[in-house]
Structure 1
Amino acid sequence: MNTTTVAVDLAKSVFQLAVADTQWRVIEQHRLTRAQFERWFTNRNVSLVIMEAWGSAHHWARSLNALGIEVKLLPAAYIRAAVDVNKTQ
């Protein structure tokens, strides 16, 4: 698989992944536990991972960097703004 970008939503026990191709179209979505999350990246050709900079994000960024994957941490303010747009008032 020639995956280029993976967006990750970190949580306490279950992580949500959205896999995008080179045209930024979502081609896969996964819901993984912590153990599955670690194994998933060892079997894939991923060049970039994007995740929100929460507490555990730095730990996962270091782990993914050790596998040779570039990681971009986005400030929480950027993510929160996208969520607030979709809410009804």
Structure 2
Amino acid sequence: MSATSTTSSAPATGSTADELFAAAFSQPRDPRSAAYKQGVLAALKFRIDGRRIPKLYDPATAEDDAYYAGQAEGHAIWRRAQAESAGAA
């Protein structure tokens, strides 16, 4: 990973996409599919590393729906981390 891959939108706490993902899924919660988790991680990598979100599944499939639902949670996790780091500053 190059130094230019981290954007200014990364949480001030220095959290990586993998760290935020691990924190979200290391506590007890409702089970989620692999496609959902891929969506969460894709959104976090987009927000923190500036990576494009790939299209992995055929449209109108259950996996595609789960992937996009996971992205919604990923964006929410990032916004929560941003708010927490702003409150700590």
- More relative contact order in 1 or in 2 (CA 8 Å, sep 6+)? 2
The TM-score normalised by the length of structure 1 is: 0.33
The structure with more helix, counted as a fraction of residues:
2
Question: If each structure's strand is expressed as a fraction of its own residues, which one has the higher value?
Answer: 1
